[in-house]
Structure 1
Amino acid sequence: MKKIGVLTSGGDAPGMNAALRAVVRKALYEGMEVVGIYQGYDGLIKGEFELFELGSVGDIIQRGGTILRSARSPEFMTETGRQKAADNLKAEGIEGLVVIGGDGSFRGALELSAYGIAVACVPATIDNDITGTEFTIGFDTALNTVVEAIDKIRDTASSHERIFIVEVMGRDAGDLALWAGLGGGAESIIIPEEPLEVNEIVSRLHQSSERGKQHSVIVVAEGVMSGAKLSQLLKDEADVETRVSVLGHMQRGGSPSARDRVIASRYGARAVEELQAGQKTVAIGMRNHKIVAYPLQDVFNTKDCLDMEMLKLSKELSI
């Protein structure tokens, strides 16, 4: 393979730039040309291509977001749009494409592969919800951002003897809420993978109050309900007063952690190796601390289960 392309797609995640840097420099090291594609799949259709050199990705390993930027592409959802994207790649002589993104980005890559484009997908999403890999790029940084926020909120909660609800990202997956809740010592963690039990939350709050603790932190994943809605529910059902903090998009930003920089670099380099080896539709991930490559289709055939033992442990430790 002599020429590959690389794009970032979907929601931004800290470490995307580190992965991009690895893809570009690994490919150049192997004697290939690399084309950066701006604005994700929309850029494929519009031909927003740039030939990258070593200096194109200089001083970006520490930067959050993505220098290639990201955009939604309704046109790519159509057969005509995908055909145009594939034609543009072939016209540029691009034989393989590295896609850095989440679940939706992976689906787009799989659909594009049907047009004769080899694809290698690198998981980058703070939700940590890609099947086949234990960790996605951006999760560790977002986790530390949320835990730091919980620590600061707890200072205020304890000072004013209040109950705070912290709403975190996680539409369909509770990894971020669960890990942050356990790491931040939350009294209750509410995730999409477990039914919401208002009575259990109230009971835990009463238990804390009875032993003299007058403040608590509840972490809720946005996929279950908003923090405001949960606050109103607790008020209506149990006359419990709470305050709400919505962390929002700050969870996606910031300089990537050392861990995210390292796994992003390893994932990006492995993606290039897989394309070079002739793989056509492959996903990159981590299992048991080893970087692995596996069929892209596997991402959609099964769904990894959240470690519910962590949730059980959080309840035991927050009595």
Structure 2
Amino acid sequence: MKRLAVLTSGGDAPGMNACIRAVVRKGIYHGFDVFGVERGYEGVIDGLFRPMGLNSVAGIIQHGGTMLKTARSERFTTEEGFAAAIRQLRELAVDALIVIGGDGSMAGAARLAAAKVPTVVIPATIDNDMPGTEYTIGFDTALNTVLEAVNRIRDTAASHERVAVVEVMGRSAGHIALMAGLACGAEAILLPEHPADMDDICKGLKQSHQRGKLYSIVMVAEGAGKGFDVAAQIAERTGFKPHVTVLGYIQRGGSPSAFDNIMGSRMGALAVDTVIQGNVNRLIAYQQGQLVAVPYEQAFANKRGIDLALYELASILAI
């Protein structure tokens, strides 16, 4: 193989730039021509390929987002758009496409693989909800962003003796809410995978107040309910006047943590090694403390859920 292409797809995640840098420089080190694709699968369809040299990835590792830009492509899901993407890759004589993104990006890569276009996927999403891997690039940075925000919110909540409701990302997966809630000592955590009993939550908040605790933190994954709706239910049941903060896109931005840049660099390098070894059509996965290349069908079969033991621990520590 002589020619690699790399793209970022779906939601951006801190650490993607470290991953791009690793793919480009490791690829060049091993004699590949490397091309970056702008705007994900949309860029493949439109032929937005650009040659990547050593200097093209200089000074990007400390930045969040993705220097190749990203997009969600509806056209790629159509027969016409998919055929155009394959045509563009073949015209450029791309030997393997390295895709950095979430589960939707992996589904697209698997579809290309079925059409005889070799692909490798590197997991990158702040939600940490991809099948086949215990970690995705961007999760650690997002957690630390949430923790820093909650620590600031806590100061105001304590000053005003209030309940602070913090809504974080996670439409179908509550990994951010669970781990951030455990890290910050939240009194209650609402997850889409574990429906909450608002009566029990409000009872706990009132008991905490009666013990002399002057503030409480309620962490809400967006898929478990809107922060303002949760606050309204708490106010109705307790008489408290909760303050709501919706963190939104702040969780995706900012400089990557050391861990995310290290994981991005390692995963990017392993993706190139996987191509060199001919082990294409695989997910670069983090499993039991090791990086491994897992076939797509095996990865898709290994769904990830919430660790209920950690949820129980967070509940116990919040009493």
User: What TM-score does the superposition give when structure 1 sets the normalisation length?
Assistant: 0.98
Could you say what secondary structure the match of 1:5 adopts?
strand
Structure 2: give runs of 5+ residues left out of the alignment.
none
Which position in structure 1 is the counterpart of 2:249?
Answer: 249
Cα deviations across residues 161-200 of structure 1 (Å, max 9, x unaligned)?
Answer: 0001000001111110011001011110111111121011
Percent of residue pairs bearing the same amino acid type: 49
Q: Note the 1:211-250 alignment, pairs <5 A.
A: 211-250=211-250
In 2: Cα distance, 1:260 partner to 1:131 partner: 19
1:274 maps to amino acid: T
Which position in structure 2 is the counterpart of 1:21?
Answer: 21
Which position in structure 2 is the counterpart of 1:118?
Answer: 118
Which range moves more in the overlay, 181-190 or 232-241? Answer: 232-241
1:105 maps to amino acid: S
The answer to whether residue 163 in structure 2 is matched with residue 142 in structure 1 is: no
In 1: Cα distance, 2:238 partner to 2:83 partner: 56
The answer to whether residue 180 in structure 2 is matched with residue 180 in structure 1 is: yes
In 2: Cα distance, 1:8 partner to 1:233 partner: 40
In 1: Cα distance, 2:211 partner to 2:280 partner: 60
Work out the number of aligned pairs and report it.
319
In 1: Cα distance, 2:235 partner to 2:160 partner: 18
Cα pair 1:131 1:298 within 8 Å, conserved: no
1:196 maps to amino acid: A
In 2: Cα distance, 1:132 partner to 1:303 partner: 7
Which position in structure 2 is the counterpart of 1:53?
Answer: 53
Residue 280 of structure 1 deviates from its aligned partner by: 3.1
**Moved >4 Å (runs of 4+):** none
Cα pair 2:4 2:97 within 8 Å, conserved: yes
In 2: Cα distance, 1:108 partner to 1:233 partner: 41
Which position in structure 2 is the counterpart of 1:310?
Answer: 310
Cα pair 1:13 1:126 within 8 Å, conserved: yes
Residue 238 of structure 1 deviates from its aligned partner by: 4.2
Cα deviations across residues 66-86 of structure 1 (Å, max 9, x unaligned)?
Answer: 000011221111111111101
The answer to whether residue 163 in structure 2 is matched with residue 163 in structure 1 is: yes
In 2: Cα distance, 1:108 partner to 1:299 partner: 14
In 2: Cα distance, 1:68 partner to 1:305 partner: 31
Could you say what secondary structure the match of 2:98 adopts?
strand
Residue 141 of structure 1 deviates from its aligned partner by: 0.3
In 2: Cα distance, 1:305 partner to 1:254 partner: 27
Cα pair 2:202 2:237 within 8 Å, conserved: no
Cα pair 2:162 2:240 within 8 Å, conserved: no
Which range moves more in the overlay, 67-76 or 38-47? Answer: 67-76
Q: Note the 1:72-83 alignment, pairs <5 A.
A: 72-83=72-83
In 2: Cα distance, 1:140 partner to 1:170 partner: 15
In 2: Cα distance, 1:237 partner to 1:295 partner: 50
State the superposition RMSD in angstroms. Answer: 1.1
Could you say what secondary structure the match of 1:284 adopts?
strand
Which position in structure 2 is the counterpart of 1:205?
Answer: 205
In 2: Cα distance, 1:189 partner to 1:196 partner: 8
Cα deviations across residues 87-128 of structure 1 (Å, max 9, x unaligned)?
Answer: 101110101000000111111111111221101000000000
Which position in structure 2 is the counterpart of 1:280?
Answer: 280
Residue 232 of structure 1 deviates from its aligned partner by: 1.7
Residue 237 of structure 1 deviates from its aligned partner by: 4.1
In 1: Cα distance, 2:239 partner to 2:102 partner: 40
User: What TM-score does the superposition give when structure 2 sets the normalisation length?
Assistant: 0.98
